[in-house]
Structure 1
Amino acid sequence: MNLGIYLTRSARHWPDRSALVCGDRTWTYARLEERANRLASALVRRGIGPEDAVASLAWNRGELVEAEFALYKAGVVRVPVNARLGRGEIEHILRDAPVRALIFDEAHRADALAAIAAAGTDCLPVALDAVPEEALAYDELLAEGDTAPVAVDTHEDAPAVLNFTSGSTGSLKAAVQTVGNRLANMRKTLMNDESRPRPDTRYLACGPITHATGMVLLAGVFGGSTTHVLPAWSAEAFLDTVERERITATFLVPAMLNAVLAHPGAADRDLSSLRSVRIGGAPVSPQRLRDAVALFGPVVAQGYGLAETTSVVAGLSSADIARAVAADPELLQSCGRAAYDTEVRVVDEQSRTLPPREVGEIIVRGPDCVSRYWKAPELSAQTFRDGWVHTGDLAWMREDGYLFLVDRKKDMIISGGFNIYSTEVETVLYEHPAVREVCVVGVPDEKWGEAVKAVVVTRPDTAVTAEEITDFCAARLDRFKKPRSVDFVPELPHNRNGKLDRKAVREPYWAHTDRRVH
Structure 2
Amino acid sequence: MNLGTYLTRSARYWPDATALVCGTRSWTYAELDRATDRLAATLIARGLRPGDAVASLAWNRGELVEIEFALYKAGLVRAPINARLGRGEIEHILGYAPVRVLVFDAAHREDALAAIEAAGTGCLAVQLDEDDAPLAPGVIGYRGLLAQGTPEAAPVEVDEDDACVLNFTSGSTGALKAAVQTFGNRLANMRKLLMSDESRPRPGTRYLACGPITHATGMTLLANMFAGATTHVLPTWSAEAFVDTVEKERITATFLVPAMVNMVLGHPDAARRDLFSLASVRVGGAPISPQRLKDAVEFFGPVVAQGYGLGETTSVVAGLSSEEIAHAVAHDAELLQSCGRATYDTEIRIVDKAGRSLPPREVGELIVRGPDCVRAYWQEPELSAQTFRDGWVHTGDLAWMREDGYLFLVDRKKDMIISGGFNIYCTEVEAALYEHPGVQEVCVVGVPDETWGEAVKAVIVPRPGHELRADDIIAFCAQRLDRLKKPRSVDLVAELPHNRNGKLDRKAVREPFWAGADRRVN
Q: Contact (CA 8 Å) 1:164, 1:175: kept in 2 or not? A: yes
Instruction: Compute the TM-score of the two structures, normalised by the length of structure 2.
Output: 0.99
Distance 2:324 2:356 in 1: 29
Query: Which residue of the other structure, out of 142, 151, 162, is the alignment partner of 1:158?
Result: 162
Look up the match of 2:57. 57
Partner of 1:199: 203
Residues 323-356 of structure 1 deviation map (CA, whole Å, 9 limit, x = unaligned): 0001101100000000010001111001111000
- Give yes or no for the alignment of 1:357 onto 2:361: yes
Letter paired with 1:60: N
List alignment gaps of at least 5 residues for structure 2: none
Give the counterpart of 1:184 among 168, 184, 188: 188
The answer on 1:286 being equivalent to 2:290 is yes
Distance across 1 between alignment mates of 2:482 and 2:49:
59
* Residue 122 (structure 1) shift: 2.5
Name the structure 1 match of 2:511.
Answer: 507
CA distance in 1 between counterparts of 2:505 and 2:170 reads: 11
In the other structure, the counterpart of 1:276 is: 280
CA distance in 1: counterparts of 2:128 and 2:68, whole angstroms: 15
Q: Which amino acid aligns with 2:361?
A: R
**Alignment partner, residue 250 of structure 2:** 246
Distance (whole Å) between structure 2 residues aligned to residue 476 and residue 67 of structure 1: 50
Q: Which residue of 2 aligns with 1:2?
A: 2
Counterparts of 1:122 and 1:134, CA distance in 2? 11
Amino acid at match of 1:129: D
3-state DSSP of counterpart to 2:169: strand
**What corresponds to 1:455 in structure 2?**
459
Q: Tell me which residue corresponds to 2:408.
A: 404
Query: In structure 2, what is the equivalent of residue 260 of structure 1?
Result: 264
Aligned counterparts of 1:49 and 1:257: Cα–Cα separation in 2: 42
1:360–1:395 contact (8 Å) kept in structure 2: yes
Shift of 1:489: 0.7
Q: Distance in 1 between matches of 2:207 and 2:129?
A: 26
What is the distance in 1 between the residues matched to 2:173 and 2:372? 26
Q: Say whether 1:324 aligns with 2:321.
A: no
Matches within 5 A, 1:79-478: 79-130=79-130, 131-478=135-482
* Aligned residue type for 1:466: A
1:8-23 equivalence runs, <5 A: 8-23=8-23
User: How many angstroms apart in 1 are the aligned matches of 2:56 and 2:430?
Assistant: 36
- In structure 2, distance between residues paired with 1:234 and 1:277: 16
Q: Is the 8 A contact 2:18 2:26 kept in 1?
A: yes
Paired residue type of 2:478: A
Measured after TM superposition, the shift of residue 168 of structure 1 is 4.0
In 2, the alpha carbon distance for the partners of 1:44 and 1:16 equals 28
Shift of 1:79: 0.4
Is this contact kept in 1: 2:224–2:231, CA < 8 A?
A: yes
Partners of 2:513 and 2:118 in 1: CA distance = 35
- 1:36 and 1:504 mapped to 2: Cα distance? 40
Matched to 2:388, the amino acid is: F
Q: If the length of structure 1 is used for normalisation, what is the TM-score?
A: 0.99
Give 1:486 shift. 0.4
Q: Matched residues in 1 for 2:136 and 2:34: separation? A: 26
SS in 2 for 1:70: helix
**1:8 and 1:149 in contact (8 A); partners too:** no
Q: Which amino acid aligns with 1:278?
A: R
Aligned twin of 1:77: 77
Secondary structure (helix, strand or coil) at the match of 2:484 reads helix
The answer to which of 336-345 and 167-176 deviates more is: 167-176
- The 3 A distance-change label for structure 1 pair 168 and 496 is closer
Q: 8 Å contact 1:175–1:370 — kept in the other structure?
A: yes
Give the Cα–Cα distance (whole angstroms) in 1 for the partners of residues 319 and 263 of structure 2.
23
Matched residue, 2:489: 485
Distance in 2 of aligned mates of 1:417 and 1:78:
45
* Contact 2:257/2:285 (8 A) holds in 1: yes
Identity of counterpart residues, as a percentage? 76
Query: How many Å apart are 1:47 and its aligned residue?
Result: 0.5
Q: Counterparts of 1:366 and 1:110 in 2: how far apart (Å)? A: 41
Q: Which structure 1 segments of 5+ residues have no match?
A: none
2: CA distance, partners of 1:319 / 1:479: 35
Distance between the aligned counterparts of 2:104 and 2:155, measured in 1? Answer: 25
Cα distance in structure 2, aligned partners of 1:119 and 1:145: 28
1:199 Cα deviation (Å)?
0.3
Letter in 1 for 2:23: G
